[in-house]
């Protein structure tokens, strides 16, 4: 140990101030899965697992869905659509609309992930990990990481988050089938409340709050009028109205809504 230059371990082991511990390696990134955001992600993917069980998916299909999408809203949109016997194409279109929000996430995280020796599989894995939790944690942690270690740390964060959701999905799926109905109901309830509060957490503009209110009202109305296309229409019509109205509001108040 004395000969070996153990910089990474030294920094990490001096855990007097856990807030300031430095992130250097893949394993440091993995450990983020044990933090509060990781635990919330675990609980919400357990909610997804329960929802999947309730909707009639096999455990394999539920885990497959979690792994291939790694974005809970898109998964629930498609699953709910299929479970209600809605059109697959309309479901895919709604999935795409939720997926578009990943574009700006990738664009803004990319400057932190300059890779000096890019390998395609690493790029693809890092991109696949981009979803709200890993994105937020990336933005929180990466600025304090030495430039040449950032890709490693982010891959660790992403891998840890993906594994967390796969385990969470499995546990939620199994629990939903074996606990009393009231507890299963609570598990199912984790998904909508987590989505709703995540939207509120991310809200910075008046437009965001407006979109939350308008979407919640418009969604059920369109569900009754045009089931199967309700999410698509809520997103495009409601979102566009909120965008236009929000831009007007910003012009009036100048200061973004708290």
Partner 1 sequence: MSGGFLATPEAALIIVLVALLAHEPFRWLGAYLGRGLAGDSEIFVWVRAVATALVAGLVARLVLFPAGVLEAIPLAVRLTAVVAGIAVFLGARRHLGAGVFSAAAVLLALGILAK
User: Binding partner 1 by CB under 8 A: which of 93, 167, 171, 175?
Assistant: 93
User: Binding partner 1 by CB under 8 A: which of 163, 200, 225, 253?
Assistant: 200
- Least CB distance to partner 1 at residue 146 (A): 21
Q: Residue length, the chain?
A: 258
∠ CA 71-75-80 to the nearest 5 degrees?
155
Which residue stretch of 14-22, 64-72, 155-163, 165-173 sits at the interface with partner 1 (rule: CB under 8 A)? Answer: 64-72
In the complex with partner 1, the residue whose CB is nearer, 22 or 188, is 188
- Say how many residues touch partner 1, by CB under 8 A: 104
- Least CB distance to partner 1 at residue 203 (A): 8
In the complex with partner 1, the residue whose CB is nearer, 8 or 54, is 54
Examine residue 249 and tell whether it contacts partner 1 (CB under 8 A).
no
Residue 39 to residue 120: CA distance in whole angstroms = 30
Which residue stretch of 4-12, 19-27, 126-134, 159-167 sits at the interface with partner 1 (rule: CB under 8 A)? Answer: 126-134
Structure tokens at 110: 């990319």
Structure tokens at 84: 């209600």
Examine residue 83 and tell whether it contacts partner 1 (CB under 8 A).
yes
Examine residue 163 and tell whether it contacts partner 1 (CB under 8 A).
no
Please spell the DSSP secondary structure of 128-189, one letter per residue.
HT-SHHHHHHHHHHGGGS-GGGHHHHHHHHHHHHHHHHHHHHHHHHHHHHHS-HHHHHHHHH
User: Binding partner 1 by CB under 8 A: which of 30, 32, 71, 162?
Assistant: 71
Examine residue 236 and tell whether it contacts partner 1 (CB under 8 A).
yes
Examine residue 137 and tell whether it contacts partner 1 (CB under 8 A).
no
User: Binding partner 1 by CB under 8 A: which of 11, 21, 43, 256?
Assistant: 43
Residue 87 to residue 102: CA distance in whole angstroms = 24
Residue 191 to residue 124: CA distance in whole angstroms = 27
Residue 83 CB neighbours (<10 A): 14
């Amino acid at each position: 140990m004395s000969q070996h230059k153990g910089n990474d371990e030294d920094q990490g082991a001096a855990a007097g101030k856990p807030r300031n511990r430095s992130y250097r390696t893949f394993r440091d990134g993995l450990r983020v899965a044990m933090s509060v955001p990781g635990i919330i992600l675990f609980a919400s993917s357990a909610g997804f697992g329960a929802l999947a069980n309730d909707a009639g998916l096999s455990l394999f299909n539920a885990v497959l869905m979690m792994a291939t999408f790694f974005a809970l809203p898109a998964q629930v949109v498609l699953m709910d659509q299929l479970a209600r016997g809605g059109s697959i194409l309309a479901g895919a279109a709604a999935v795409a609309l939720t997926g578009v929000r990943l574009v700006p996430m990738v664009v803004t995280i990319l400057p932190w992930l300059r890779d000096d020796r890019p390998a395609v599989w690493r790029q693809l894995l890092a991109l696949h990990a981009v979803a709200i939790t890993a994105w937020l944690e990336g933005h929180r942690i990466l600025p304090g990481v030495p430039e040449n270690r950032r890709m490693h740390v982010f891959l660790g964060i992403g891998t840890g988050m993906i594994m967390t959701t796969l385990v969470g999905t499995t546990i939620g799926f199994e629990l939903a089938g074996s606990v009393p109905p009231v507890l299963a109901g609570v598990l199912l309830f984790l998904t909508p409340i987590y989505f709703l509060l995540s939207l509120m957490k991310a809200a910075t503009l008046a437009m965001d709050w407006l979109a939350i209110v308008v979407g919640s009202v418009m969604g059920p109305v369109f569900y009754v009028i045009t089931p199967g296309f309700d999410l698509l229409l809520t997103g495009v019509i409601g979102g566009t109205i909120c965008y236009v109205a929000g831009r007007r509001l910003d012009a009036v108040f100048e200061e973004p809504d708290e």
